[in-house]
């Protein structure tokens, strides 16, 4: 039996639409949950699902991979400029785009303080929403291949000392004041860093639980019943705005993909 590629692609589009609808629905549930949960003061929070807003007060740190900033959480994203060929013969076309080739993150427990008290947050299992802080550029040819960078990052994330040398990576930090990077070439890379440092203000929605290891006997972590655990460097309002944006985009695009896919399949079948 011969498989028509356009049918397969359209079917995949419909399936992607369903995934986006599910994602949008999940975002809507999170949006509602945040709206429904009032903010607690740390000194008087009750056990169970809590929402707090406080400032990070850390005494232990990990280092962000490229900037070496002391932080309690980091996420990195490595993008490579690649050429994408589509079509064949005279219809052949080449498009260029930045593709994500590496992603990773690391986190450690940290203290959060508001005007009433301090609480330990164990971020294991948390979903982070953190703004991009730094971006580094690397011209092609610095590494013989991406494998080396990937291996080096693996060593870094497993290292207890966080001693990781990137001096030979020839990273150029891109800031508002830095000179414009000369013409982008295939193989160039961008190293993006997102992190949380001491004194950052955080919005946290997690589960408060009893702990014998902390001074005030309370710890915020991922609950065993209530799995939701969100940490954002935005205010509650800012975070809700972002969730709403994600939710609307996913639901609209998801509906278009799904219904469009179904309509195209019907068209292929000669139904209209």
Interface characters, 10-39, with other proteins (x: CB under 8 A): --------x--x---x--xx--xx-xxxxx
Among residues 120, 142, 249, 262, the one that binds other proteins under rule CB under 8 A: 262
The number of residues that bind other proteins (CB under 8 A) is 26
256 binds other proteins (CB under 8 A): no
1 binds other proteins (CB under 8 A): no
Q: Which is nearer to other proteins, 21 or 231 (CB)?
A: 21
Burial class (CB in 10 A: 0-12, 13-18, 19+), 94: exposed
Q: What is the dihedral of CA 108, 113, 119, 122, to 10 degrees?
A: -20
Q: How many CA atoms lie within 13 A of 90 on its CB side?
A: 0
Q: Which two tokens stand for residue 264?
A: 């195209």
Return the closest-CA partner of residue 50 out of 38, 32, 60, 67. Answer: 38
Distance CA 157, CA 141 (A): 24
Among residues 43, 227, 244, 245, the one that binds other proteins under rule CB under 8 A: 43
Q: Which is nearer to other proteins, 47 or 103 (CB)?
A: 47
For residue 123, what is the DSSP state?
-
Residues numbered 101 to 130 that lie near other proteins (CB under 8 A) are 116
Point out which residues bind other proteins (CB under 8 A). 18, 21, 25, 28-29, 32-33, 35-41, 43-44, 46, 48, 116, 258-259, 262, 265-266, 269, 271
């Amino acid at each position: 039996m011969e498989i028509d590629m356009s049918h397969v692609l359209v079917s995949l589009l419909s399936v992607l639409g369903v995934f986006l609808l599910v994602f949008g629905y999940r975002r809507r549930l999170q949006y509602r949950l945040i709206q429904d949960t009032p903010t607690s003061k740390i000194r008087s929070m009750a056990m169970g699902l809590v929402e707090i807003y406080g400032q990070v007060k850390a005494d232990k740190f990990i280092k962000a991979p490229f900037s070496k900033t002391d932080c309690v959480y980091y996420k990195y994203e490595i993008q490579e400029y690649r050429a994408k060929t589509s079509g064949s013969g005279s219809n052949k076309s080449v498009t260029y785009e930045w593709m994500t080739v590496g992603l990773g993150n690391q986190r450690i427990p940290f203290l959060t303080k508001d005007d009433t008290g301090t609480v330990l947050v164990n971020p294991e299992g948390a979903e982070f929403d953190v703004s991009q802080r730094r971006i580094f550029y690397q011209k092609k040819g610095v590494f013989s291949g991406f494998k080396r960078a990937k291996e080096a990052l693996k060593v870094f994330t497993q290292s207890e000392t966080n001693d990781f040398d990137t001096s030979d990576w020839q990273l150029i930090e891109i800031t508002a004041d830095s000179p414009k990077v000369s013409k982008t070439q295939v193989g160039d890379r961008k190293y993006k860093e997102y992190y949380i440092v001491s004194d950052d203000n955080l919005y946290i929605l997690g589960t408060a639980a009893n702990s014998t290891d902390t001074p005030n006997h309370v710890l915020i972590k991922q609950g065993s019943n209530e799995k939701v655990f969100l940490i954002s460097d935005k205010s509650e309002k800012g975070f809700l705005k972002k969730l709403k944006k994600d939710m609307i985009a996913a639901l609209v695009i998801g509906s278009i993909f799904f219904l469009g896919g179904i309509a195209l399949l019907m068209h292929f079948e000669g139904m209209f």
